[in-house]
Amino acid sequence: MYLGIVKGTVVAERKAAGLEGKKLLLVQPVDEHGAPVGDVQAAVDTVQAGDGDLVYLVGSREAALACDPWFVPVDAAIVGIVDGIGLPAKAGP
């Protein structure tokens, strides 16, 4: 799983069977400090995330398993909204 920040919404009226009613969001993957990692991607939302939210996602086959029905063409799903991260103090020089 990985972290991301919601950057917008994707509206697609015509979608593959099983994706009806699923919300698609634009997500910028980030590291634990909020710095971007890689390219923006579209992900299915399962937790009512909104613009600017720090979220965590699951990718690959497990992304489809987060959906109901689960046999759907999805490879990234938002599965939680992050409230906080307890970063350890920097060790050494």
List residues binding other proteins (CB under 8 A): 1-3, 31-32, 37, 46-49, 56, 58-63, 65-66, 70, 77, 79-88, 91
Question: At 61, is the secondary structure helix, strand, or coil?
Answer: helix
Bridge-partner residues for 77, per DSSP? Answer: 44, 58
- Closer residue to other proteins (CB): 14 or 44: 44
Q: Which is nearer to other proteins, 14 or 35 (CB)?
A: 35
Quote the least distance from Cβ 58 to other proteins, whole Å.
5
Query: Based on CB atoms, which residue is closest to other proteins, 70 or 73?
Result: 70
Q: In whole angstroms, how close is the CB of 13 to other proteins at the nearest point?
A: 26
- C-alpha 8/C-alpha 72 separation (Å) is 22
* Rounded Cα gap, residues 51 and 55, in angstroms: 10
For the bound state, the minimum distance from the C-beta of residue 27 to other proteins, rounded and expressed in Å, comes to: 13
Nearest to 53 by CA among 5, 2, 1: 5
Written as six digits, the tokens of 19 are: 């994706």
